[in-house]
């Protein structure tokens, strides 16, 4: 039976042993669709996160998707175009159940203003990354990535931990809301700015944010006391980062780490310019888009200028993947890209080995299933400190949102090993129900984004989008249950293409074969992508794990 959802009462959390579809594979995808709305930012408008990332194009499209998932046979495939079901075709039992293409616009037309016009006409929607692919598990997915970034910085600059260190950031939405908990888990005193008081209170209610300060003076006093005591603390402040960052800099305060995760990617539906209220911004979104975009970019110029000032004074400053540097450069900040992107700066050695954010969701709705898989992880990878440290911290600090789920950074072979062992647990009745396996789209072979994932690649292949397209076609050939190709919408239009995948462990032999082929081939392609670019870590992985990469003489 579905469970009550106190955050969004109209969107219960799915679960239970009863099936509405004609098999667990179809039921799994239906529950994942329901789940992203149950944990979403604005489910009434089908928005999951990032201002515009939607689970379906419209409520009529949502109804059509649900109907198809409940009625389709296992030898059919549902085709979805930008959040709208298009057809249910006869394939075969080993074909994907769902194939999606979301927000892919021809190159010369892939611009924000074209996207907004197509969206107004009801012809397109942006799926974000995991929103439109029904793979979002709440903020936990971002928590670990943010935590790993903080820990890499700690190792590089601060002797291995962030105790007694001040982190300044902004954004408490579906992505940015992970930052206060990730910072606290890393031992830091972290100050998070957001213009929306509702977002701040939401993060506090679910345990991601400890304190909300009434004003900047109080916030800085709280942070200063925590730094002196070497005490982990997360503090929220309602305000505009374009005003708060420059003010902190004017006072001569130099945080140890500075970043940002506001919705700077979207100048209309995401970022809020300084001097404007949320209501004023909402009024301009339909008829004043040009004015709003100009005001947002002008504020971002001040925002990023302050970040560069912190960098000059010694702060570790990085772009967390929201295009804020890009917007600032277009606004005239010529040195915006002196701020590094987090992927190249801290995580590329991991991605070169196809180690990235892998996730699984207990379709039963029972937390005990995740607890059992946690134990299995510790059993399988006792010497992997990234995994064992994370599982310990996640159990202690990370609350579940929606269906119980977990994420961990696993690489080639590790993902397949875990998934097949979990499938055996389902088959043996040790879990209460099947488990869906997925990953972030920001994965080794799955994304081309020259300002985030593939910035400054060793061979200059930053803008080549062949890799996620090959990934999607390969995953269809490898019997995955859901395969999707996403491109950017809103302010991300023209900047990225990614591939997503979901495979269901329902305890059957067929599921074991699907998991083996899809997950193994997915990470193998990630290693190949970086080996092809000349990364020594990837070439080492090819040799150690017999990755079938064709190296030309």
Number of H helices and number of E strands within the chain? 19, 17
Q: Is residue 56 part of a domain?
A: no
How large is the average pLDDT for residues 308-332?
A: 96
Q: Helices in 428-507 by DSSP H: which ranges?
A: 466-477
Burial tier of 293 (Cβ tally within 10 Å: 0-12, 13-18, 19+): buried
Which among 63, 68, 121 has a CA at the least distance from the CA of 97? 68
Question: What is d(CA 74, CA 381) in angstroms, rounded to the nearest whole number?
Answer: 35
Domain CATH code at residue 359: 3.40.1770.10
Short-list 318, 322, 310, CA closest to 342:
318
Strand, helix or coil for residue 26: helix
Find, among 464, 443, 176, the residue nearest to 324 by Cα. Answer: 176
This prediction has a pTM of 0.92
pLDDT tens digits for range 444-454: 999 999 999 99
Answer whether 255's CB lies under 8 Å from 245's CB: no
Residue 158, domain member (yes or no): yes
Buried b (16+ CB within 10 A) or exposed e, 122-143: eebbbbbbbbbbbbbbbbbbbb
Last residue of a domain, one of 295, 316, 340: 340
Does 507 map to a domain?
A: yes
Reply yes or no on whether the pLDDT at 1 is more than 80.
no
Q: What length does the chain have?
A: 553
Total domains, the chain:
2
Q: What angle, rounded to 10 degrees, do the helices at 289-312 and 241-250 form?
A: 30
Same domain, yes or no, for 395 and 292? no
Residue of 126, 118, 236, 90 lying closest to 176 (CA atoms): 236
> Are residues 307 and 168 located together in one domain of the fold?
yes
Residues 366 and 332 occupy one common structural domain: no
pLDDT given for residue 117 in this prediction:
95
- Which residue has better confidence, 205 or 425? 425
What mean pLDDT comes out for the span 153-164? 94
User: pLDDT at position 286, please?
Assistant: 83
Give how far Cα 506 sits from Cα of 27, 294, 329, 377, 433, Å. Answer: 11, 51, 49, 19, 8
Q: Which ranges constitute the DSSP H helices of 158-215?
A: 179-185, 197-205
β-strand partners of 78: 88, 98
Flag whether 508 is in a domain. Answer: yes
Residue 311 has a pLDDT of 98
Range of the domain at 396: 347-440+449-461+470-481+494-545
Quick one: pLDDT at residue 139? 83
pLDDT tens sequence across 202-216: 899 988 999 999 999
| Mean pLDDT to the nearest integer, 193-197 | 96
Same domain, 245 and 321: yes
Asked whether residue 395 carries a pLDDT value surpassing 90, the answer given is: yes
Is the pLDDT at 553 greater than 90? The verdict is: no
**Do the Cβ atoms of 271 and 262 come closer than 8 Å?**
yes
Distance CA 285, CA 128 (A): 19
Tokens of 521: 């081939």
- Asked whether residue 423 is domain-assigned, the answer is yes
Residue 448 CA to residue 113 CA, distance in Å, equals 22
Whether the per-residue pLDDT at 470 is higher than 90: the answer is yes
Question: 285 with 404, same domain?
Answer: no
pLDDT tens column, 90-134: 999 999 999 999 999 999 999 999 999 999 999 999 999 999 999
Give the pLDDT of residue 545. 95
Helices (H), 331-366: 342, 348-351
Residues 419, 325 within the same domain: no
Backbone φ, ψ for residue 7 (5° rounding): -70, -45
pLDDT at 142: 86
Mean pLDDT on 172-178: 86
Place of tokens 């400053």: 317
pLDDT of residue 376: 98
C-alpha dist (Å) from residue 13 to 416, 485, 517: 28, 27, 31
Of 294, 317, 340, which one is at a domain's C-terminal end?
340
What is the C-alpha radius of gyration for the chain, rounded to an integer number of angstroms?
22
Determine the distance from the C-alpha atom of residue 369 to the mean position of all C-alpha atoms in its chain, rounded to a whole number: 23
Mean pLDDT of 476-497: 96
Buried b (16+ CB within 10 A) or exposed e, 349-364: ebbbbbbbbbbbbbbb
Query: CA 285, CA 116: separation in Å to the nearest integer?
Result: 10
- The verdict on 231 and 265 lying in the same domain is yes
Give the pLDDT mean for 263-276.
92
Q: What is the pLDDT of residue 176?
A: 87
> Domain check: are 519 and 384 in the same one?
yes
- Residue 6: what pLDDT? 87
Predicted pLDDT at 50: 81
| pLDDT category of residue 280 using cuts at 50, 70 and 90 | very high
Are 302 and 383 part of one and the same domain? no
Domain end position, chosen among 340, 369, 386: 340
Same domain for 178 and 308: yes
Identify the pLDDT of residue 80. Answer: 98
Residue 333 and residue 390 in one domain: no
pLDDT at 166 over 90: yes
Q: What is the pLDDT of residues 524-552, one digit of tens each?
A: 999 999 999 999 999 999 999 999 999 99
> Is residue 26 in some structural domain?
no
Domain presence at residue 434: yes
Q: What pLDDT shows up at residue 7?
A: 84
Taking a C-beta distance cutoff of 8 angstroms, is the pair 71, 56 a contact? no
Q: Token digits for 47?
A: 């928005």
5-51 tens-digit pLDDT: 988 899 999 999 999 999 999 999 999 999 999 999 999 999 999 88
* pLDDT of 140: 85
In CATH, what number is assigned to the domain containing residue 334?
3.40.50.10730
Structural domain contains residue 41: no
Cα distance between residue 443 and residue 356, in whole Å:
6
Contact, 436 vs 360, CB < 8 A?
yes
Q: Tell me what the pLDDT averaged over the chain comes to.
A: 96
Same domain, 330 and 364: no
Cβ(37)–Cβ(55) below 8 Å:
yes
């Amino acid at each position: 039976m579905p469970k009550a959802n106190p955050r969004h009462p109209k969107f219960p959390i799915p679960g239970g042993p009863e099936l509405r579809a004609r098999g667990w594979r179809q039921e799994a995808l239906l529950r994942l669709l329901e789940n992203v709305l149950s944990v979403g930012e604005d489910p009434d408008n089908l928005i999951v996160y990032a201002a515009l990332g939607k689970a379906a194009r419209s409520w009529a499209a949502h109804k059509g998707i649900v109907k198809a998932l409940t009625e389709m046979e296992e030898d059919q495939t549902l085709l979805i175009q930008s959040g709208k079901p298009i057809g249910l075709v006869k394939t075969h039992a080993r074909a994907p159940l769902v194939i999606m293409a979301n927000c892919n616009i021809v190159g010369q037309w892939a611009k924000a203003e074209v996207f907004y016009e197509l969206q107004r006409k009801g012809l397109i929607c942006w799926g974000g990354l995991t929103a439109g692919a029904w793979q979002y598990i709440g903020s936990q997915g971002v928590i670990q990535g943010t935590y790993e970034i903080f820990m890499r910085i700690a190792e590089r600059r601060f002797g291995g931990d962030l105790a007694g260190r001040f982190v300044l950031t902004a954004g408490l939405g579906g992505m940015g809301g992970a930052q206060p908990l990730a910072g606290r888990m890393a031992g830091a005193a972290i100050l998070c700015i957001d213009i929306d008081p509702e977002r701040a209170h939401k993060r506090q209610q679910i345990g991601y944010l400890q304190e909300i300060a009434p004003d900047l003076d109080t916030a800085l006093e709280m942070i200063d006391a925590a730094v002196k005591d070497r005490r982990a603390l997360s503090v929220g402040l309602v305000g505009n980062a374009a005003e708060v960052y420059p003010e902190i800099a004017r006072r001569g305060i130099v945080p140890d780490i500075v970043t940002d995760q506001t919705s700077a990617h979207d100048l209309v539906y995401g970022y809020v310019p300084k001097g404007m209220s949320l209501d004023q911004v909402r009024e301009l979104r339909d008829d004043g888009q040009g004015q709003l975009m100009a005001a947002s970019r002008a504020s971002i110029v001040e925002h990023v200028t302050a970040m560069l000032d912190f960098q000059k004074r010694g702060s570790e400053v990085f772009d967390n993947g929201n295009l804020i540097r890009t917007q600032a450069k277009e606004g005239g900040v010529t040195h915006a890209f002196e701020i590094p992107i987090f992927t190249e700066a801290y995580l590329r050695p991991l991605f070169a080995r196809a180690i990235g954010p892998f996730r699984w969701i207990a379709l039963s709705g029972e937390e005990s299933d995740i607890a059992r898989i946690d134990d299995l992880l510790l059993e399988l990878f006792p010497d992997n400190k990234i995994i064992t440290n994370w599982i310990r911290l996640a159990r202690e600090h990370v609350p579940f949102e929606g269906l119980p789920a977990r994420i961990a950074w696993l690489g080639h072979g590790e993902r397949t090993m875990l998934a097949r062992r979990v499938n055996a647990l389902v088959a043996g009745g040790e879990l209460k129900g099947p488990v869906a396996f997925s990953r972030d789209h920001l994965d080794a072979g799955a994304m081309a984004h020259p300002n985030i994932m593939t910035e400054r690649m060793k061979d200059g292949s930053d803008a080549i989008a062949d890799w996620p397209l090959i990934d999607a076609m390969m995953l269809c050939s490898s019997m995955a249950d859901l395969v999707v190709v996403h491109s950017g919408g809103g302010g991300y239009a023209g900047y990225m293409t990614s591939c997503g995948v979901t495979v269901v462990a329902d305890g059957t032999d067929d599921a074991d074969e699907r998991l083996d082929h899809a997950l193994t081939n997915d990470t193998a392609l990630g290693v190949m992508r970086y080996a092809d670019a000349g990364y020594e870590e990837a070439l080492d992985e090819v040799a150690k794990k017999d990755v079938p990469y064709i190296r030309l003489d």
